Amino acid sequence: MSDGESGGYAGKVTGGGSVTAVTAATAAQMQAAIDAYTGTGGLVVRYTGKFDYSTITDTCAQWQKDAGDIVEIKNKGNVTIEGAAGSAANFGLAIKGAATNVIIRNMTIGLLPGSIDAIGIEGQGGQFPGYIWVDHNTLFSSTKDCAGAGDLEFDGLIDSKAGAHHITYSYNHIHDHQKVGLIGSSDSDSSDRFITFHHNVYQNVKARLPLQRGGYTHLYNNLYTGVLTSGINVRMGGYSLIEGNYFENAQNPITSRDSTAIGFWQLRNNNVKSPADFAQYGITWVASESSPTRDANDWVSTATFPVSITYTHTVQDAACVKQKLAAVAGAGKALATMSCS
């Protein structure tokens, strides 16, 4: 990937381009820089703040706090938010309304106070954010079950809702979290959005990799290692092209459950080729109590992906994903990409 090419449905995303970066050490300073920006000429905000996650000794007490800070990029375009080397944040980022051509990269965001998204992309007022690239971030919380939390404990890490479209998530390290990412906030939020997930590492996570309602996703060259409940959950007539990924120690890695209609997938060149491979890679299945439901426990495609891939990309061998992806995914990796040559 170079020159702003996201390798996904976001296409070429330049963000703030080459304008001089504004430095922000706090959420308030970052918000002030965004608020002062006219919204068209280009803005780069370099976050230099630090947060010591080891100071959070009780993750359940952290979740029970009031909702923490959320920095909003709303109805503005050509914005880059980038973490400086060694930075770490304890606040969320929200991309809203008509925001477009936005890059979020090299941010470390973890253990947010209250139930808020780490990175949330959401339409508002009939305006829909799009052409957004979320690249080389490290996002996490905890998989500890907190009493009384139910479905609210540590909300999403990468959620796309209410018409958000043309998004690429790439080279992120997502770990130790319960509900990673949904596409569509309810079964009625199922528009024809286009989202790509490539070269992401999902490690020790419970579910929503993603939870997809409607629309079209292309998932290639991701590493799923330690999926505790369910993985790719395609629902409400959505379609997913799932290729060149590596699955290991994963329960229900590909499924359609918990909605009023199922979704569909096409499987291509993943490390798992057939049910005969399940034992080798630690793939297990637990049936859903919901109806309708469909699991990939026969490991066959349920549909042909019906739309074109509109961007240039190379699907690398799944074995290379296992061997090399972790070394280049996440923040602090100098935006390195995976080479299999």
- Which pLDDT value is given to residue 252? 98
264 inside domain: yes
How far apart CA 192 and CA 326 sit, in angstroms, is: 31
φ/ψ of 82, rounded to 5, equals -135, 135
Which residue in the block uniquely carries the two structure tokens 């944040």?
89
Closest C-alpha to 68, from 45, 94, 102 = 94
For the segment 154-181, what is each residue's pLDDT rounded down to a tens digit? 788 999 999 999 999 999 999 999 999 9
For residue 150, is pLDDT > 80? no
7 inside domain: no
The CATH number of whichever domain residue 214 belongs to comes to: 2.160.20.10
* Average pLDDT value for the chain: 95
Active-site choice (208, 235, 257, 294): 208
For residue 153, is pLDDT > 90? no
Closest C-alpha to 97, from 73, 128, 120 = 128
For residue 286, the 8-state DSSP code is -
φ/ψ of 328, rounded to 5, equals -120, -5
302 inside domain: yes
For residue 118, is pLDDT > 70? yes
How far apart CA 64 and CA 149 sit, in angstroms, is: 8
- Which pLDDT value is given to residue 1? 62
Give the mean model confidence (pLDDT) for residues 135-152: 85
14 inside domain: no
- Assess whether 208 carries a catalytic annotation: yes
Token representation of residue 244: 């060149």
For residue 314, the 8-state DSSP code is -
Range of the domain at 37: 22-327
The set of residues, in sequence order, having a beta carbon less than 8 Å from that of 110 and lying 6+ positions away, is 51, 53, 88, 89, 90, 118, 138, 139, 140, 141
143 inside domain: yes
12 inside domain: no
- Which pLDDT value is given to residue 46? 98
CA 160 to chain centre: 9
How far apart CA 183 and CA 219 sit, in angstroms, is: 14
Give the mean model confidence (pLDDT) for residues 138-158: 83
How far apart CA 326 and CA 138 sit, in angstroms, is: 12
258 inside domain: yes
φ/ψ of 216, rounded to 5, equals -135, 130
339 inside domain: no
For residue 341, is pLDDT > 90? no
Position 33 confidence tier, pLDDT thresholds 50, 70, 90:
very high
Closest C-alpha to 24, from 50, 51, 45, 52 = 45
How far apart CA 122 and CA 92 sit, in angstroms, is: 13
- Which pLDDT value is given to residue 145? 85
pTM of the model: 0.98
Peptide bond just before 210 cis, omega within 30 deg: yes
How many domains are contained in the chain? 1
